Chains A and B, each alone.
Chain A
Amino acid sequence: VNESTRPESYEKAVERLEEIIDRLDSGQAGLRETLELCREGRDLVEYCAAELDAVGEGLRELRLDEMAAKLEQAPATAAEREED
């Protein structure tokens, strides 16, 4: 999936995929359109699979308080460096 055709979101991609399948199932698409729809569909399937992979690799748990503490430390350290 290149940048110009990258779907906005997983649901947009699935929505478009459903449209494509419906169109293909209708049997009304010409040969050229069918082949283009199949190519677009394969790209979308690839994108969706990548999105599913991204939330299927393993649960990662972060703590908001720790993240906030790090964020607070970071500017302080930067300020200290500036003072030095």
Chain B
Amino acid sequence: MEEQLFQPPESAPDAPAAPADGPPQPGLPGPFAVGRYAAKLREELRKRARVQLIGEVAGLGRSRTQSYFELRDADGAVPCAIWLDDLEKLKLPEGALRDGAEIVVAGGPDYYPGSAQASPSFSFRVTHVRLAGEGDLLARLAALRKALEAEGLFELQKRLDRPALPRTIGVVTGERGAARRDLLAGLQRRGWRGTIVWGFAPVQDRHAAPAITRAVQDLAALPEVDVIAVARGGGSLADLWAFCDETLCRTVAMLRVPVVSAVGHERDRTLIDDVAAVACSTPTHAAEAVVPLDCGAARQGLDRCARGLERAAAGAVSGRARHLAALARGPQRALDRQRHALNQITREMRAASQRRVAERSDFQRRIAIVVLDRAQRRAHESVVRCAAENARSSAALERSARRALDRRRQALGRIGVTLRAHDPDRTLERGYVLAEAGDGEPLTSAAAADAANRFSLRFADGRLAARSEGPQEDE
């Protein structure tokens, strides 16, 4: 029967039969007497493994016999109790066990079954307590860091665009901390004089993390806030523990407004530094991260820009005018170049043609010499030929002339003979007389002779003077 109290249902044999009026859940073992069950429960709980727990003390109280408190963190809590005798044996420093203290406890679960007058209660029976050291916190921080990183929460803020020149900045910090003053000074050094919304919060106790979380959320809810800074001066890891709070860090990671963390000094690395868009080691750096633009330098740069633009605008016109003027001179230069080239070519051509003419005339001269030589030779040959021919011709001519002369001589002879036949002298020889006037003119009629009166008679052998006595009468 005793064994059945804490055995799983399937292995619980011989469950008493349900009474006729029926239990609320038929088929389950029992009903058992509650006192016995409570005692068995304590016995079972005390069998659980003894462990160490780390967390923050809350609601510390004390009775006659024991001290009690809750050990908490962001995810939950366990009620703890320690016998005063045990506590005294630990010799903790005065006030070490206080609300908000980060402690490590050792012990195991226990149950007080109560009594007829006393209420029952569950508690983690603490046998040892010590203040949490850096190592414990670092171990917790490492575990948290690993978990958040695995969920990709470190990247979300880093993907947000941070404005170079925010108009309104939200700042979460302690109202009287040096961080506030340093951040303001840093912003002023950058020449930034916009609007700051201060979200003041405690920065070092168990109320810090929820207050900081709320402030960050409220600032992010203001539409005019462009960027949020979370700032606190340096301290031990325990002092800065609020900034490793899981809820705070998850909240920051999910914000749509970039968060710049400036918690502690260079060597302190809190969890909010990991999830924030930018982590800075000092408030001065934070001012630079919150307002990336150095406003004074930007104004000077802008002035230079404006002057550059004016110069570019003016230069675009005047530069082009100069270019145009240069271009206008271009064609003349090109013409000059072409003319020069042309002259050069002409000179070369002339020289070339002179060379060519000389070559050609030389060639022609040589040709002419050859031709003339040949012509002369031919002429000479022709002359020789002609001379020969002439010689031949002149011989022939001579011969022919001689023959013609002979022929003419013969014809002349013949003509002479003929002529002589007709010669009056020859007639006179034959006895005829020729009457001639004093001037030698023949008188061929008697009348002419009578008219002449005196005339001469020519005989073959000489002349006789005669005178007409008038016509003679026939007898």
Chain A residues with a Cβ under 8 A of chain B: 9-11, 14, 17, 20-21, 24, 29, 31, 34-35, 37-38, 41-42, 45, 48-49, 51-52, 54-65, 67-68
Complex contact B197–A67 (CB within 8 A): yes
- B255 near A: Cβ within 8 Å? no
5 contacts between A and B (CB under 8 A): A21-B312, A24-B312, A38-B316, A56-B191, A59-B196
- B174 near A: Cβ within 8 Å? no
- B411 near A: Cβ within 8 Å? no
User: Given A34-B312, A34-B316, A55-B165, A64–B197 Cβ distance below 8 Å?
Assistant: yes
Name the one of B167, B184, B193, B316 contacting A35, with C-beta atoms under 8 angstroms.
B316
Interface size class of B (residues with CB under 8 A): 35 or more
Complex contact A61–B196 (CB within 8 A): yes
- B154 near A: Cβ within 8 Å? no
Contact with A along B188-204 (1 / 0, CB 8 A): 10011111111110000
CA A68 to CA B200, docked complex, whole Å: 12
CA A63 to CA B316, docked complex, whole Å: 52
Chain A interface SS verdict (over half): helix
Chain B residues with a Cβ under 8 A of chain A: 161, 163-167, 170, 184, 187-188, 191-200, 215, 218-219, 222, 291, 293, 295, 298-299, 302, 305-306, 308-310, 312-313, 316-317, 320
Complex contact B305–A10 (CB within 8 A): no
Distance in angstroms from A7 CB to nearest chain B CB is: 12
User: Given A10-B164, A45-B306, A62–B198 Cβ distance below 8 Å?
Assistant: yes
Q: For B305, list chain A residues within 8 Å (CB).
A: 17, 21, 41, 45
Name the one of A52, A60, A67, A68 contacting B295, with C-beta atoms under 8 angstroms.
A52
Complex contact B194–A59 (CB within 8 A): yes
Distance in angstroms from B49 CB to nearest chain A CB is: 47
Distance in angstroms from B218 CB to nearest chain A CB is: 6
Name the one of A10, A24, A38, A64 contacting B215, with C-beta atoms under 8 angstroms.
A64
CA A5 to CA B409, docked complex, whole Å: 144
Complex contact A11–B200 (CB within 8 A): no
Complex contact A55–B196 (CB within 8 A): no
Distance in angstroms from B247 CB to nearest chain A CB is: 19
User: Given A38-B312, A54-B167, A62–B293 Cβ distance below 8 Å?
Assistant: no
18 more contacts with CB within 8 A, not counting A42-B306, A56-B295, are A9-B161, A10-B165, A21-B312, A24-B308, A35-B316, A38-B309, A45-B302, A45-B306, A45-B309, A48-B302, A52-B295, A52-B298, A55-B166, A55-B194, A59-B187, A60-B195, A67-B222, A68-B218
Q: For B317, list chain A residues within 8 Å (CB).
A: 31
Q: For A68, list chain B residues within 8 Å (CB).
A: 218
Complex contact B195–A62 (CB within 8 A): yes
Closest B residue to A57 by CB, please name it: B193
Closest B residue to A10 by CB, please name it: B165
CA A48 to CA B197, docked complex, whole Å: 24
Q: Which 4 pairs show the lowest CB-CB distances between chains A and B?
A: A55-B194, A38-B313, A34-B316, A64-B199
Complex contact B170–A64 (CB within 8 A): yes
CA A17 to CA B302, docked complex, whole Å: 9
CA A8 to CA B305, docked complex, whole Å: 19
Distance in angstroms from B198 CB to nearest chain A CB is: 5
Complex contact B316–A62 (CB within 8 A): no
Distance in angstroms from A26 CB to nearest chain B CB is: 11
Complex contact A11–B313 (CB within 8 A): no
